[in-house]
Chains A and B, each alone.
Chain A
Amino acid sequence: MSEYINNSQDFKVEINALILENINNKNLEILLEDYHLYDISQVVTSLEDDSIKQFFQSISKDYAAEIFEYLDLDDSEKIIKIIGEVNSAKIISEMELDDAAELLKYLRKTGMRILKQIEINRKKELLEIMLYDEDEIGSYITDSFLTISVDCSVKEAMKTIISQAHDVDYISILYVVSKENVLMGYMKLKDLIVARAEESIQDIMKTRFPKIYPNDDKEYVATLMQETSESSIPVIDEDGRIEGIITHDDLMDIISLSQVEDYTKFAGLSDIEIDIDQITVKKSVKSRLPWLSILLGLSLITSVILSLFENNFSNTEGSRLLASKLAVYLPLILAMAGNTGTQSLAVMIRYLTRNQNPEKGIIKKHIFRELKTGFLQGFIIGIIIFFMINITNLIVIQEITSKNLVYALVTSGSIFIALLLSTTLGAIIPIIMTRFKIDPAVASGPFITTISDIITLSIYYSISMIILLPLFN
């Protein structure tokens, strides 16, 4: 591990020295050629404001655009402030479409002003991408790819590729199109390389491959790309014309972003900062307090329910005794129900993330399995509790009265029902949410615990009121 970090740190030190020495050198770009743009971008953000200004004066707009593609949005914003909006507009119009659109969206008003200064055709393209919702795959479209005509030969295709490879980022997969730009097939560059020169593209291209529409959900596309192991996937419009492609780095962003988001929600947080140096108390409070407040509201329902029962349990000495006895196992029952709910919730959320839109039959199978799991677990835990209570009674008061036996039976029976219900609920809630197009990850661990508290408590106290209260009065 240290090896990698050292070697990347060395690069940064070298880059830093190189930039500072040649900051007004028009050949700076060529001098930096050997370094990776990511390292360069990280060094540039750490420079003084004046140096940043000079740096961007020395390099071409093309090169600046490539550096921008590796910058975080907030770093880009900082640099745009330094180099001015006019320069930024020139750089942004050279950036890849999806990165440029994302940046402009992030900049809000500044972004709109910059957009106005961009050449009309590019502006139109950018606007189109910006209009897609962030959940739609359209906002990730790249236009840097190669198309070859369906009627050319392998030799002609190679020629096109060699002449265009310089200007295009992504050439590993070539898209075969008709004269009207309708996507007909695709070819991997490696297959083209090994093909015979005189063969026609039409004969050797592959025609069965995944394609998507710009309005498709990004997580659906990510799953599709992962399952097919494709490193890029074409986006087409309703008439089958190719609009752009989605590449592997977009895929990586989509997946890691959605996983962090899901996990964050599951832990009952609204935002997660995973870099320890960036964590501040303010951020922590901001990400936790909103959820805690909502959960406080939900938790109050437990208090309301208990206070409704309170009157029934405070009239006589016997009922007061029962109330205190019930309280003894209350936290245990609630905790156990919450635990099983959290377990089945986690299992279901992960399943739904990995398998978008599963069939109805499979869903039924899952629910049925959770039901049986809950039943068996509830039964086993219930029996353990039944014996525990009786053994405790034997030790403490040296006898098992019929009253206490019924009490043990009610408590373990309630645990059984509670576990059965919360295990099933933990599985059903995310499914229902998906039905209603709500992100199932909103059903967090704390959320399910609170819901299961409410249900469990009602069950325990209702059963006790009906069966135990007459006995103790």
Chain B
Amino acid sequence: MEELLVEMLAQDVIKDLIENINNDDELREKLDEFHDYEIAKTIVLLNDKSLKRLYQVLPIRKLTEVFEELTPEEAYSILKNTNIDLVIRIFREMETDDLVDIIDFITDKEDRITFLSLIDHKRRETVKSLLDFDEGVVGSIMNNYFISISKDDTVKEAITKIVKNAPEIEFIHNIYVTDNSGVLIGAMSLKEIISAGYNQTQVIEDLMSTNLVYLTPYQDIEEAIEIMKNYDFLLLPVVDKELKIIGIVSFDDILESLNEESDEDYSSLAGISEVNIDENETVFTSIKKRLPWLVFLLFLNLITSSIIVSFENQLRLLPTLAVFMPLILNMAGNSGTQSLGIVIRLFATNQLEHKKSIFKHLTNELLTGLINGVVIALALFLIVILFNLIKGETFSNGLNFALVLALSINIALIVATLSGALVPLIINLFKLDPAVASGPFITTINDIFSLLIYFGIASILITSLS
């Protein structure tokens, strides 16, 4: 009880000090006597003016320690309304676990990504991994190294700012222009500023271009890649909900993501949890990435075995059925993989979000499967007839058998092509991990379908023959 009283007292004293001492050094010295915790308890009560004053006086180190004393809820509610530059600086100083707590507290998805993106690049990875963060958004690849100038700056002032910041910043091709509250309102290329160098008194606002292309931190990286490719930009600015500039994405970040996106496509098509390796990959890690999938597929494949068991009689009557079994399964698997390959790309680029486009794509796959099926079936039909003639079978026997094969492969290809597109969609619909719909999975599903089709048609033939 007594402690609480002291704390309450301290709050009033600190508030008083901030409001009444105008000398920076004096205030800093006075505040230094209080515990971080006491200042933290005060900070939530301050009005905007006093807050600003506090930010001005406290060194960033001390200010960060104060923030570390706040609950994540309090810290977030204050940081939400704080100047972005300051947030970046505080985040740079803050302990990683406190950062994680703050980010974890934010429930609004977009705010969460925005705040996450304000953490410097290296530590962002750690924080993200601690939070199970959703990859693939612009916020996870942006960085805070950009130059922004005010619309009221003259060319001369702008150049001075650029010169001052240039050593720290990797790419200065574009300079971003903000209004007084940090809202992005224009951009200039370094080239334009330099060509304007003749007339150093011109104001930036009159020179800048105002039709901007920008990103938001929660936008898909795939979209950022498209924009950068189309517009040939080297840098793209990233803005928050209020259009304040919070960072940039540079072409080398985009290229790195391009590689990662591509890795993902390969991983899904090959049925492996991570396709990227380096020289130091060990056998153990290789097995860890692959074996779980293989065991899963093994059990799935047992279905094919049990199908064949139930058709064992047909196999004994007509052993030649086994001769063409691998061919039919393989061809169905291949066309399934092909259509899966397309669907993986369409998913990655978010093109399958509307019912209309899904329907259109499925119709397209059905027709493609139909045409491919007919052509391959015709080819196989002719080959089998030839095959049987060489083997010395009677023509009518060979004809019947060729018909069974052609019909089976035709239907199997149609089904396989369609399921290559449909199965990932169904898996997505039930919110299962889309990685389940990998190439090997689709191939196994298609093995099952194709076997049923093949033996089903063959049994009809055998019954009709006997």
Q: Enumerate chain A interface residues (CB-CB to B < 8 A).
A: 1, 3-4, 7-8, 11, 33-36, 38, 70, 161-162, 165-166, 171-172, 189-191, 193-194, 226, 229, 231, 248-249, 251-253, 255-256, 259, 262-264, 266-269, 272, 274-276, 279-281, 284-285, 288-289, 291-293, 295-296, 299-300, 302-303, 306-307, 310, 313-314, 320-321, 323-324, 326-332, 334-336, 338-340, 342-343, 345-347, 349-351, 354, 362, 365-366, 369-370, 372-373, 376-377, 380-381, 384-385, 388, 445-446, 449-450, 453, 457
Contacts and interface: CB of A to CB of B under 8 A. Distances in A.
Interface stretch (B5-13, B97-105, B326-334, B426-434): B326-334
A446 B330 CA distance: 8
B319 A320 contact: yes
Given A292-B334, A306-B323, A335-B304, A376 B283 contact: yes
A369 B282 contact: yes
A410 to B, nearest CB: 15
Given A264-B341, A279-B361, A342-B439, A288 B283 contact: no
B130 interface: no
A324 B312 contact: yes
Contacts of B265: 263
Given A272-B341, A339-B297, A449-B330, A303 B372 contact: no
A48 B250 CA distance: 37
Contacts of A362: 279
Given A229-B252, A369-B282, A376-B283, A306 B342 contact: no
Given A349-B266, A362-B279, A381-B294, A331 B447 contact: yes
A346 B329 contact: no
Given A252-B251, A269-B341, A291-B338, A299 B360 contact: no
B335 interface: yes
A354 B255 contact: no
Give the top 6 A-B pairs by smallest Cβ distance, nearest first.
A267-B341, A346-B270, A446-B334, A284-B368, A324-B315, A339-B440
Contact of B294 (A172, A340, A446): A340
Given A306-B322, A336-B297, A292 B335 contact: yes
Interface in B195-249: 195, 197-198, 209-216, 219-220, 223, 225, 227-232, 234
A268 B334 contact: yes
Given A1-B219, A34-B210, A299-B331, A377 B294 contact: yes
B85 interface: no
A335 B263 contact: no
B266 A266 contact: yes
Given A171-B191, A272-B342, A347-B275, A193 B334 contact: no
A328 B266 contact: no
A324 to B, nearest CB: 4
B3 interface: no
28 contacts: A34-B210, A165-B194, A189-B194, A190-B162, A226-B256, A256-B258, A259-B262, A267-B337, A269-B341, A288-B372, A295-B334, A306-B322, A313-B319, A323-B322, A324-B312, A324-B319, A328-B308, A331-B301, A332-B305, A334-B330, A343-B272, A346-B266, A346-B272, A362-B279, A373-B283, A445-B270, A450-B334, A453-B326
B283 A299 contact: no
Given A165-B195, A256-B258, A377-B290, A310 B213 contact: no
A377 B351 contact: no
Nearest to B254: A252
B255 A288 contact: no
Nearest to B218: A1
Given A255-B258, A276-B360, A369-B283, A289 B337 contact: no
A31 to B, nearest CB: 12
Interface string B447-461: 100010000000000
B372 A372 contact: no
A320 B342 CA distance: 42
Given A36-B211, A172-B190, A252-B254, A449 B287 contact: no
B376 A351 contact: no
A70 B277 CA distance: 36
Contacts of B215: 4
A190 B361 contact: no
A251 B351 contact: no
Nearest to A369: B283
Given A252-B228, A331-B325, 4 more contacts: A172-B190, A279-B361, A296-B379, A388-B302
B338 A346 contact: no
A335 B267 CA distance: 18
Scoring B231, B298, B325 by chain A CB atoms within 10 A of each residue's CB, the highest score goes to: B298
A191 B443 CA distance: 56
Contacts of A284: 342, 364-365, 368
Q: For the complex, would chain A's binding face be called helix, strand, loop or mixed by DSSP majority?
A: helix
Interface stretch (B32-40, B50-58, B114-122, B165-173): B165-173
B367 to A, nearest CB: 4
Given A256-B258, A328-B308, A4 B190 contact: no
Nearest to B329: A331
A381 B295 contact: yes
Contacts of A255: 255, 258-259
A226 B267 CA distance: 22
Interface in B276-325: 276-279, 281-283, 286-287, 290-291, 293-295, 297-298, 301-302, 304-305, 308-309, 312, 315-316, 319-325
A303 to B, nearest CB: 5
Contact of B331 (A162, A269, A295, A380): A295
Contact of B298 (A8, A279, A291, A385): A385
A283 B216 CA distance: 35
B142 interface: no
B345 interface: yes
B78 interface: no
Contacts of B214: 4, 7
Given A4-B215, A190-B166, A449-B333, A328 B309 contact: yes
A210 B262 CA distance: 26
Contact of B194 (A11, A161, A279): A161
B149 interface: no
A445 B439 contact: yes
